[in-house]
Amino acid sequence: MKPTKFLTLGIVALLLATSIISCGQKTKETATVEQLGQMNRDFAKALLAKDATAAANLYDENASLLPPNEPIVTGRENIKNYWQALIDAGLIDASVKTIDASSDGDLGYEIGTFELKFQGEDGAIITDTGKYTEILKRNSEGKWISIYGMWSNNE
């Protein structure tokens, strides 16, 4: 066999192998900042509705919260209890603002700021502001949910 025919066959085989391999690979779909930030906007709405179950359902079944100055909270039921305690502490307002978010396939992150307002027993309004990071995954329904959430206060 002539060297040029051998080279041509080699190139054709390489191109065919590359095509077959790339057809079998899953295409990575990048989510928008809007899509990734929806989890926390829904979370703030759930807190305002005083619905700890709805808030907890935005987390994976085995998710973990990493609250400031407290132990790690793991599992959806424990997360629900954590947010219920926050609601019971007099929560009257909750808002979030996405600063940045990105994804690679079915994993993503969001960073942002939050503001929480509580009404104390004496009627005084206490405002808590800070920043957060969420590690997100796309669930089987295509919705972004949190697998790890960490935040800290600005003060």
Give the global pTM.
0.79
Domain that holds residue 66: 31-153
Tell me the pLDDT tens digit for each residue of 116-136: 999 999 999 999 999 999 999
Q: How many domains does the chain have?
A: 1
Residue 8 domain-assigned (yes or no):
no
The per-residue pLDDT for 2 is 58
In a domain, 19, yes or no: no
In a domain, 4, yes or no: no
Secondary structure string (H, E, C) spanning the chain = CCHHHHHHHHHHHHHHHHHHHHHHCCCCCCCCHHHHHHHHHHHHHHHHCCCHHHHHCCEEEEEEEECCCCCCEECHHHHHHHHHHHHHCCEEEEEEEEEEEEEECCEEEEEEEEEEEEECCCCCEEEEEEEEEEEEEECCCCCEEEEEEEEEECC
Residue 68 belongs to a domain: yes
pLDDT at position 5: 52
Tens digits of residue pLDDT in 44-64: 999 999 999 999 999 999 999
